[in-house]
Structures are given as structure tokens and as C-alpha cells.
């Protein structure tokens, strides 16, 4: 079963240097923090969506659609209760919802979903090894870069094992569909323990295999996919920095795009 | 010829254990030889492999005595990464070894670690991908490859380091027959290249082609010799928990001269000494569907499409399983065996068509009710074991189904008795051997007393002795009225134990009938990339009914000329 996020499509975004993509991702994160007005925020979300289309990463958005929708719905419902706005809309006992706080909630939902979306584009277009190599070239020590990318790499492997474990326990009569919260936590144990043991065993074998193939974290190594900065990389970075400066001016200089002041 | 490996009185005890895993091992191996190491589970075969590249004592700590010299270098004094320039090690579990995101990066990983220039890496990728026959799959993701391809990639990625010595620890155990042949043919080519090759394997057929065979028992090497010397010594093999070559066993049991290691040799001997006549394979059991009793499972035009990828895995299966049958489901990986079996206990619901259990569609049952009727033992017992004691583990299903503690206790004791683990109630399941853990998994299903028991690869990863125990246990369960269905790659297991065989290919039933009849049609089996065991091939050639050594001995002795 293929549950990896990388999509081997070969678009121009795939061909960008991993360093460009890492920095761009960070810039987009900051851009997402610029506004808390849903209208302005949705413009940014739309921009990220366009990048996703151009990177042919929509398949992954479809795969994770429930998480994305959940993020938006939850923030829209939850945030309004924790922020105060000027125009009251609805209140019940100590709970108040204002027009501004509701809009703020929508903006926060969009922001979270856009965060996830940007990360998703990154993972859909960047191989694990490219991420490692990019981090190494940016000065991250090899053991740390390797640990990070291996952790990312193992998530789908463990998810696959988890699915098998659940099937095995359901076959033995484990009922995951009903029961109180407390009994459901109890049902977690038959799933978690085998997965935990699987993970330990798997990583141990992986370590053996890596050492047997000459892996040693201290020594220098060749990068078979050596990232190279091209003109398009610099262009992308300059463009994103320019956008960031303009947006910061709109927010800080003109004071636009704010629904509730004093919040990010 | 120079010496490749020299092992001098090596004894090793793992830190957490008291008994030595390896005891007074001695051995000299010359360059360019092909060594096959065999032995029962826990005999120390894997430990031996690990001493050759320094994983013992550098990765696994413990008490290490004696010396291992590889190409004159003392292994224990070097780091594993340094040893990787001389010794390549391929592990049994190919899933855990492959972790790159495409085939070429997997191949590049070792040479990258050795800091080779990029042009040299490129050259080696090309050379060794072609060597293992994967050059067309260069951009593929390893997870999407078949088992045989994965193991070939694992071998290729080690070969890319150009080690003078290659060690493979059970490279074929987890593979289907086709994958097994793919890997063995690569072993042949490595040998032609003049590298020293050491392979650990369960199957005596592999050892036929070796220069030297080592037998291990309880941490000791009990015999070293040529294949003919070792393989003809049936009692010695059995004492090491290894399946003797059935042809040798047959010839010795009847008292025929010579010990054939291959079917061709056996046929030659029979013709030369005029030992037996050809006969026509008669078929006595009528393959009709009448009067077989109650139908237990029934698939009607069953189709299944995996929702995420829209792949049609089952393309219209029609099947009826009667009460009390003992069935083997055969087929390559990806032929739909496991998917079909998961319909039997309702883990998967048909995309179209119906799956009936006792005449009622699985969609109308709850998981609990189905769990009472159809038990399913997954391939890897470690996917389900979680309890602190064997007793709790085996009683888990019953507890889930709401039985009272008294019944649970009684049924657990009964189930443990059936699998031969009486007295294990209070033991910690994680500390048991693989064979015992497999038995715990079976017991935990048996405790529910389901009428149908499905086992996915019940003998994989077990040594011969445990395979026999497992199958004998299933045979007696079948005798006591249970319907038993096994999914297996092991052709001799299917031939010796089951009454009916179903062969799947690409999601369709290719063949379904009495086991003897299915195994007689070697051309049909070949279409599913399957080949019967050597004994069955000889039986087919002779036209005998028998599928086991005992049956054939009886038949041939009764009709001796």
C-alpha cells in the first residue's frame, strides 16, 4: 500500500533546490501570520492553492481532505468563544460570540489549513533525501538532518503496520465501534503495544542495515542528488520576499487586514 | 586460493542472555566459495552472519571470545562501517532494509557513505541494477515492488559497495516461490563473479548447489562438508531441525540405491536400475460437489476493488467451502489470496457479489458474531501479541466476546493444550521463540472455538520441526471437525496436508480441486508461477498417488517388480 506523500510528477516546483523550498516554506508560514481578516487570509489560501495546482499536488489535498476540513470547521467553531469583539452576535450564560470573533475564527481556520497545505506541497514535491541534502547544505549537522528525514520516512511505514494490527485485533473480536470513552482508552492498548514493539524491532533492523552499508554519522559522504541553485530558485526567493514585504507594509503600515487588533 | 574468512574458536554470549549464542566455532573459507549454513531456529545462524561484518560485537554487545579474520583483518577491531568495504550483509527482513524513496537512491546509499565520486556511483548503480535485473525500475519507489524485487534490490544495494564477501541471512524465507527463484539465480551469478558467498537458508534444495554446507545446532557447527556428504545424512539433518531432501528420504526408505539430490538424478537412477514402472495416475475421489455436507463459506461472483487506488484485486470469485474441509490457497504475492481470506471473516466487504457465511451475507453480521464463527490468524504473530501473560493473550478474544471468567479459564487451558503450550500460562509472550509466539496466536483464535480457522502463512519463518508441529496440530484440529484454510507459499505443506487446493492468479481462480489433481497439472501451476516440490514432481513422473514420502513408499513397495 502506498501511503507516502511524495508525488513523482516532475513539475518546476519539484525541480527547485530543496533549500529554496525549505526557505520558501518558512516565508509562506510568516505570510500566513500577516492577517487575521478572513478576506485577506483567503487570498493567501487561494495563492497557496494555486501553487498546489501548479505542483500537481492536489491528489494529496484530496487524500487529507478530512483533516483540512476538520481544521477549518473546528477553529471556526472554537475560536469565537475565546476572543472578544465589538458587535455581539449571540450569547448564552458566560459564552459570548461576536461578529468579529466569528470572522477571526474563520481566518484562523484558513490559516491552519494553509499551514498544513503549504507543508503538504513541500512534502509532495520534495524527496526525503532531497530534504536531508538541503538541510546538510544549509549547515544542519548530518546526524540531525538524517534523524529528521528518517522520522518523516517512517511515519507511513508505521501507519501501514498500525492498519494491519487493527485488522488483526478486530478479527479477534476487539470492538472499536462502541463503548464509553474510558473503555475506548482500554481498547487502545491491544493496538499500541504491538505497534510499539514493531517500531522498536523495525528501527533496530534499520540501524543494522544502515551500519552494514557503511553508514557512519561522523564521516563525510557524497550526495548523489546534489542540489544546485539555479536562476529560477533565486527568482522564487526574491519574489516571495517581495510579497512578504508588501504584505507586512499593508498590515503594519496601512493597518489593513485586521479584524481584531492585538492578535496575530 | 587465499583464505577469505577464518574463524578461530569463536564463542559469543549476548549481554542479556546466559547461554552462548555461538560456541567454539571453527572454520576456514577460501575465496570464491559458496557456503550454505543450515540449522534450526535459534541455532545461531544469524549470530554467525553478524560476526562476519562486526555487528557482533560492535552493535550487539556481549561476551566475545576467539577471533574472526576476514581477509586477514580482525573483525572485532574494526567498526561495522569500515568492514562494509569487505563484507556485505543482506538481512532477512527486506522491508526494514529499504528506506530510500526510489530504487536508484537505494542503490546509491552505500557508495555515498563510502564517499565515492558521483560518476563512480552512477556507474555502479547501472552495473548492479542490471545485475539484479531491476534496471527498468530505476525510478520506482521500493514500497511498490514485489517481494522478490525488494529482496533483489536489497542485494543490489549491498553489491553496489562491491564487497569481496557477501553474506545473506535467509534471503528467501519471506518470499513466494517466484521471488525465491529470482533471488537464487542472483546468488548463482554472484558466485560466477568469483565473490565469496555465504547464505543461510532453511530449504535443503539451496544447499545442493553449494561448495560446502555447514550445519548448526544450539550455537555449534556440528558438521561441515560437501552437499552430498551432508544431505544424504538424513538422521543428522533431522537432529538439526532441517527438512531432509524428500527424494533422498524416499530412496533410503525404499532401499533404492543412490541418493538423488534433484528430480533429474532421481529419474536417471530409476531408469538405470529399472526401479519402478510408469503408471497412469488414476483418480478415485470423484470431484463432485454433491453430498459434501453443509456449506460453510460461499462466494458468489465476488469482486473487490481497493478503494484508495481503484485496483481490482478480486475479479469474480465463485467458491464454496464445505464443513470439515482442509484447504490450501496458493498463488503469487498480489494474486489476491489474503484479500479473499479477509472476506471470509468480514474484515473486507465485497465491492460487488456476495460473501456468505453459513448462508448469511457477511454484511449482516457484526464483527463479534463473525469472530465466533471464523477465526483468522494473521501472518505475523507480533502484530497481535500485547498481553503480559500468555493466559491473558489467549483469553483476550473470549473476554472481548463477553464470556465469563470460568469459561475463559477453561477454554484457554484447552487451547494451550492443543497447541502444545501447557504450563505456559504465566509466561511473558514476548520472550517466547517465533514458533511459540505463532502457537500463542493460533491458540488465541482456537480458544473461541470457531468452526472455520484461516491461517495466513502459518509456517513462514518457522524451522522444519516447528512447521511439522504446526501442521500436525492443524491436521488434528481438522480431524476434530474444524474447517481449516491455509494461505501458503510452501508447496510441500500444501501437498502433504491439505485435501483441496485453490490456485489464484490475478484475482481469479485458476484451479480448484482435490490437491492431488491440482498438483498433477504442472503446466497449470506454472501459469501461476508455481512449481510442486521435488517429491511431487517425481510422483507425477511416476504416476503415483502419493504426495508424501510415506504414501509413496507404501505405494511403490506394494507394486515393486
Q: Which CATH class is domain B3-244?
A: alpha beta
Of A127, A197, A221, the CB nearest to B115: A221
Which residues of chain A neighbour B121 with C-beta distances below 8 Å? 222, 224
Beta strand ranges found along B206-340 (DSSP E): 212-217, 220-225, 295-306, 311-322, 326-330
Q: What size, in residues, is chain B?
A: 561
Measured CA to CA, the distance from residue B484 to residue B473 in angstroms comes to 11
pLDDT tens-digit series, residues B255-298 = 888 888 889 889 999 888 888 877 777 665 555 554 567 899 99
Helix (H) or strand (E) holding B454: strand B452-456
Measured CA to CA, the distance from residue B39 to residue B221 in angstroms comes to 9
Domain boundaries, chain B: 3-244, 245-275+531-561
Report B:299-338 residues touching A (Cβ under 8 A): 308-309
Q: How far is A115 from chain B (nearest CA, A)?
A: 24
- Residue-by-residue DSSP string for B12-77: EEETT-SS-SEEEEEEEEETT-EEEEEE-TTSSHHHHHHHHHTHHHHTS-EEEEEEEEETTEEGGG
Q: With 90 as the cut, is the pLDDT of residue B22 above it?
A: yes
- Residue-by-residue DSSP string for A109-174: HHHHHHHHHHHHHHHHHS-HHHHHHHHHHTT--HHHHHHHHHHHHHHHHHHHHHHHHHHHHHHTT-
Measured CA to CA, the distance from residue B206 to residue B534 in angstroms comes to 13
Contact B362/A at CB under 8 A: no
Do the Cβ atoms of A189 and B100 come within 8 Å? no
Q: Cα–Cα distances in Å, from B296 out to B477, B485, B539?
A: 16, 12, 32
Do the Cβ atoms of B113 and A209 come within 8 Å? no
Identify the burial level of B168 via C-beta atoms within 10 angstroms of its C-beta, where 0-12 means exposed, 13-18 middle and 19 or more buried: buried
pLDDT tens-digit series, residues B296-337 = 999 999 999 987 667 889 999 999 999 999 999 999 888 899
Q: Which of B187, B146, B202 is nearest to B492 (CA)?
A: B202
Which residues of chain A neighbour B365 with C-beta distances below 8 Å? none
Report B:370-399 residues touching A (Cβ under 8 A): 371-372, 375-376, 378, 380, 382-386, 396-397
CA atoms within 13 A on the CB side of A99: 3
Measured CA to CA, the distance from residue B214 to residue B220 in angstroms comes to 10
Q: How far is B556 from chain A (nearest CA, A)?
A: 45
Residues paired with B38 in a beta bridge: B215
Q: What size, in residues, is chain A?
A: 264
Of B161, B383, B400, the CB nearest to A173: B400
Do the Cβ atoms of B100 and A128 come within 8 Å? yes
* Structure-block grid coordinates of residue B269: 537412477
Of B112, B376, B385, the CB nearest to A222: B112
How many C-beta atoms lie closer than 10 Å to residue A155's C-beta? 12
Phi and psi dihedrals of B272, rounded to 5? Answer: -65, -45
Of A154, A172, A226, the CB nearest to B444: A172
Rounded percentage of chain B residues whose pLDDT exceeds 70? 97
Which residues of chain B neighbour A179 with C-beta distances below 8 Å? none
Do the Cβ atoms of A153 and B342 come within 8 Å? no
Q: How far is A168 from chain B (nearest CA, A)?
A: 6
* Contact between B535 and B552 (Cβ < 8 Å): yes
Q: With 80 as the cut, is the pLDDT of residue B89 above it?
A: yes
Do the Cβ atoms of B383 and A164 come within 8 Å? yes
Residues paired with B212 in a beta bridge: B35
* Structure-block grid coordinates of residue B312: 481490482
Q: What is the pLDDT of residue A235?
A: 94
- Interface ipTM: 0.83
Of B55, B81, B401, the CB nearest to A214: B81
Measured CA to CA, the distance from residue A248 to residue A48 in angstroms comes to 18
Do the Cβ atoms of A173 and B368 come within 8 Å? yes
Report B:181-210 residues touching A (Cβ under 8 A): none
Which residues of chain B neighbour A6 with C-beta distances below 8 Å? 101, 141
Where do runs of H (alpha helix) occur along B401-545?
405-418, 434-446, 464-479, 491-497, 515-520, 522-527, 534-542
Predicted confidence band of residue B525 (pLDDT cuts 50, 70, 90): very high
Do the Cβ atoms of B347 and A201 come within 8 Å? no
* Omega within 30 of 0 (cis) for the link into B57: yes
* Contact between A35 and A260 (Cβ < 8 Å): no
Q: With 50 as the cut, is the pLDDT of residue B561 above it?
A: no
Report the SS3 class of residue A72: helix
pLDDT tens-digit series, residues B415-458 = 898 888 888 889 888 888 778 888 899 999 989 989 999 999 99
* Structure-block grid coordinates of residue B42: 535459534
Do the Cβ atoms of B382 and A198 come within 8 Å? yes
- Taking CB atoms within 8 Å and a gap of at least 24, the contacts of B179-187 are B179/B146, B179/B147, B179/B148, B179/B149, B179/B151, B179/B333, B180/B148, B182/B133, B182/B148, B182/B149, B182/B151, B182/B152, B183/B148, B183/B151, B183/B152, B183/B155, B186/B131, B186/B132, B186/B133, B186/B152, B186/B155, B187/B34
Residues 6+ apart with CB under 8 A from A172: B371, B384, B396, B397, B400, B444, B445
Q: How far is B13 from chain A (nearest CA, A)?
A: 18
Measured CA to CA, the distance from residue B162 to residue B388 in angstroms comes to 46
Of A191, A214, A222, the CB nearest to B121: A222
Beta strand ranges found along B274-432 (DSSP E): 295-306, 311-322, 326-330, 352-357, 360-361, 374-377
Which residues of chain B neighbour A197 with C-beta distances below 8 Å? 382, 385, 430
Q: How far is A106 from chain B (nearest CA, A)?
A: 31
Q: What is the pLDDT of residue B288?
A: 52
Q: With 70 as the cut, is the pLDDT of residue B1 above it?
A: no
- Rounded average pLDDT per 10-residue block, chain A, 264 residues: 72 92 94 90 93 90 87 86 77 79 89 92 90 90 86 84 88 76 76 89 90 86 87 94 93 82 72
Of A8, A173, A214, the CB nearest to B114: A214
Contact B108/A at CB under 8 A: yes
Which residues of chain B neighbour A7 with C-beta distances below 8 Å? none
* Structure-block grid coordinates of residue B183: 533471488
Q: Cα–Cα distances in Å, from B32 out to A203, B26, B83?
A: 33, 19, 18
Do the Cβ atoms of A219 and B115 come within 8 Å? yes
Q: Which of B203, B113, B204, B207 is nearest to B160 (CA)?
A: B113
Structure pTM?
0.85
Identify the burial level of B211 via C-beta atoms within 10 angstroms of its C-beta, where 0-12 means exposed, 13-18 middle and 19 or more buried: middle
Instruction: Output B174 or B235, whichever has higher pLDDT.
Output: B235
Q: What is the pLDDT of residue B113?
A: 92
Rounded to 5°, angle at Cα B92 from B89 and B97: 70
Please count the residue pairs, one from chain A and one from chain B, whose beta carbons lie less than 8 angstroms apart.
Answer: 162
Domain boundaries, chain A: 1-127+229-264, 141-224
Helices A18-32 and A99-125: crossing angle in degrees, nearest 10, is 180
Residue of B81, B145, B365, B461 to mutate, interface with A, max A Cβ within 10 Å: B81
Q: What is the pLDDT of residue A3?
A: 58
Q: Cα–Cα distances in Å, from A178 out to A167, A184, B366, B367?
A: 16, 8, 12, 12
Which residues of chain A neighbour B143 with C-beta distances below 8 Å? 1-2, 4
Residues paired with B199 in a beta bridge: B36, B168
Phi and psi dihedrals of B241, rounded to 5? Answer: 70, 30
Residue of chain B nearest A3, judged by CA positions:
B143
Where do runs of H (alpha helix) occur along B294-373?
337-344, 367-373
Report B:444-483 residues touching A (Cβ under 8 A): 444-445, 448
Do the Cβ atoms of A222 and B371 come within 8 Å? no
pLDDT tens-digit series, residues B375-395 = 999 988 888 888 989 999 999
Do the Cβ atoms of B101 and A128 come within 8 Å? yes
Contact B105/A at CB under 8 A: yes
Q: How far is A9 from chain B (nearest CA, A)?
A: 12
* Contact between B511 and B470 (Cβ < 8 Å): no
Q: What is the pLDDT of residue B486?
A: 96
Residue of B386, B403, B432, B442 to mutate, interface with A, max A Cβ within 10 Å: B386
Amino acid at each position: 500500500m502506498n501511503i507516502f506523500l511524495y508525488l513523482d510528477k516532475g513539475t518546476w516546483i519539484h525541480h527547485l533546490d530543496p533549500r529554496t523550498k525549505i526557505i520558501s516554506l518558512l516565508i509562506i508560514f510568516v505570510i500566513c501570520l500577516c492577517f487575521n481578516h478572513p478576506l485577506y487570509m483567503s487570498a493567501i489560501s487561494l495563492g497557496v492553492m494555486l501553487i498546489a495546482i501548479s505542483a500537481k499536488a492536489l491528489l494529496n489535498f484530496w487524500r487529507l481532505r478530512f483533516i483540512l476540513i476538520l481544521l477549518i470547521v473546528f477553529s471556526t467553531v472554537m475560536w469565537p468563544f475565546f476572543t472578544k469583539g465589538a458587535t455581539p452576535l449571540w450569547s448564552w450564560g458566560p459564552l459570548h460570540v461576536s461578529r468579529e470573533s466569528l470572522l477571526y475564527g474563520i481566518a484562523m481556520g484558513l490559516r491552519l489549513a494553509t499551514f498544513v497545505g503549504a507543508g503538504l506541497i513541500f512534502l509532495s514535491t520534495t524527496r526525503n533525501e532531497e530534504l536531508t541534502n538541503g538541510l546538510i547544505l544549509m549547515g544542519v549537522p548530518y546526524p540531525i538532518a538524517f534523524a529528521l528525514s528518517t522520522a518523516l520516512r517512517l511515519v507511513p511505514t508505521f501507519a501501514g503496520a498500525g492498519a494491519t494490527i487493527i485488522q488483526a485485533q478486530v478479527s479477534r473480536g476487539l470492538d472499536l465501534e462502541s463503548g464509553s470513552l474510558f473503555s475506548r482508552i482500554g481498547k487502545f492498548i491491544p493496538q499500541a503495544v504491538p505497534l510499539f514493539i514493531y517500531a522498536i524491532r523495525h528501527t533496530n533492523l534499520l540501524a543494522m542495515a544502515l551500519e552494514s552499508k557503511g553508514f557512519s554519522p561522523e564521516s563525510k559522504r557524497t550526495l548523489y542528488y546534489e542540489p544546485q541553485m539555479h536562476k529560477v530558485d533565486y527568482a522564487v526567493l526574491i519574489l516571495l520576499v517581495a510579497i512578504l514585504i508588501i504584505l507586512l507594509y499593508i498590515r503594519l503600515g496601512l493597518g489593513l487586514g485586521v479584524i481584531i487588533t492585538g492578535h496575530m | 586460493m587465499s583464505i577469505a574468512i577464518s574463524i578461530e574458536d569463536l564463542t559469543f554470549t549476548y549481554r542479556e542472555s546466559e547461554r552462548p549464542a555461538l560456541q567454539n566455532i571453527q572454520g576456514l573459507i577460501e575465496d570464491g566459495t559458496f557456503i550454505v549454513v543450515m540449522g534450526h531456529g535459534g541455532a545461531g545462524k544469524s549470530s554467525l552472519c553478524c560476526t562476519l561484518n562486526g555487528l557482533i560485537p560492535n552493535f550487539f554487545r556481549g561476551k566475545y571470545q576467539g577471533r574472526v579474520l576476514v581477509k586477514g583483518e580482525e573483525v572485532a577491531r574494526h567498526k561495522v562501517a569500515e568492514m562494509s568495504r569487505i563484507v556485505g550483509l543482506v538481512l532477512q527482513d527486506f522491508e526494514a532494509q529499504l528506506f530510500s524513496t526510489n530504487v536508484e537512491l537505494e542503490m546509491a546509499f552505500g557508495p555515498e557513505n563510502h564517499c565515492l565520486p558521483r560518476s563512480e556511483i552512477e556507474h555502479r548503480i547501472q552495473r548492479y541494477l542490471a545485475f539484479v535485473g531491476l534496471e527498468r525500475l530505476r525510478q520506482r519507489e521500493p514500497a511498490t515492488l514485489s517481494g522478490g524485487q525488494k529482496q533483489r534490490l536489497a542485494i543490489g544495494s549491498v553489491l553496489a559497495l562491491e564487497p569481496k564477501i557477501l553474506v545473506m541471512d535467509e534471503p528467501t524465507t519471506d518470499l513466494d516461490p517466484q521471488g525465491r527463484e529470482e533471488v537464487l539465480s542472483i546468488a548463482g551469478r554472484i558466485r560466477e563473479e568469483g565473490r565469496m558467498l555465504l547464505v543461510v537458508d532453511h530449504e535443503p534444495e539451496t544447499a545442493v548447489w553449494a561448495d560446502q554446507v555447514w550445519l548448526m545446532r544450539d550455537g555449534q557447527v556440528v558438521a561441515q562438508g560437501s552437499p552430498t556428504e551432508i544431505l544424504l545424512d538424513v538422521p543428522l539433518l533431522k537432529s538439526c531441525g532441517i527438512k531432509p531432501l524428500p527424494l533422498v528420504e524416499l530412496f533410503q526408505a525404499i532401499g533404492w540405491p543412490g541418493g538423488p539430490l534433484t528430480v533429474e538424478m532421481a529419474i536417471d537412477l530409476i531408469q538405470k536400475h529399472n526401479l519402478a514402472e510408469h503408471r497412469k495416475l488414476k483418480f478415485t475421489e470423484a470431484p463432485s460437489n454433491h453430498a459434501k455436507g453443509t456449506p460453510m463459506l460461499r462466494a458468489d461472483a465476488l469482486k473487490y476493488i481497493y478503494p484508495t487506488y481503484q485496483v481490482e484485486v478480486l475479479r469474480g470469485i465463485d467458491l464454496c467451502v464445505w464443513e470439515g474441509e482442509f484447504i490450501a490457497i496458493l498463488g503469487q504475492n498480489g494474486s489476491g489470496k489474503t484479500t479473499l481470506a479477509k472476506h471470509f471473516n468480514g474484515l473486507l466487504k465485497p465491492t460487488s457479489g456476495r460473501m456468505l457465511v453459513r448462508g448469511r451475507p457477511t454484511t449482516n453480521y457484526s464483527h463479534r458474531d463473525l469472530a465466533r464463527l471464523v477465526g483468522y490468524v494473521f501472518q505475523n504473530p507480533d502484530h497481535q501479541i500485547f498481553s503480559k501473560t500468555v493466559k491473558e493473550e489467549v483469553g483476550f478474544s473470549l473476554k472481548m466476546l463477553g464470556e465469563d471468567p470460568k469459561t475463559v479459564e477453561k477454554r484457554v487451558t484447552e487451547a494451550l493444550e492443543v497447541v502444545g503450550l501447557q504450563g505456559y500460562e504465566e509466561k511473558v509472550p514476548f520472550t517466547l521463540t517465533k514458533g511459540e509466539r505463532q502457537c500463542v496466536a493460533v491458540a488465541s483464535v482456537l480458544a473461541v472455538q470457531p468452526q472455520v480457522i484461516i491461517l495466513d502463512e502459518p509456517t513462514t519463518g518457522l524451522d522444519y520441526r516447528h512447521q511439522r508441529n504446526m501442521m500436525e496440530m492443524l491436521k488434528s484440529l481438522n480431524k476434530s471437525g474444524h474447517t481449516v484454510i491455509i494461505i501458503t507459499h510452501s508447496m510441500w505443506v500444501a501437498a502433504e496436508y491439505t485435501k483441496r487446493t485453490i490456485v489464484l492468479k490475478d484475482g481469479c481462480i485458476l484451479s480448484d480441486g482435490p490437491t492431488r489433481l491440482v498438483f498433477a497439472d504442472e503446466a497449470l501451476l506454472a501459469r501461476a508461477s508455481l512449481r510442486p516440490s521435488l517429491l511431487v514432481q517425481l510422483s507425477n513422473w511416476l504416476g503415483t498417488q502419493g504426495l508424501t514420502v510415506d504414501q509413496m513408499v507404501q505405494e511403490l513397495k506394494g507394486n515393486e517388480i
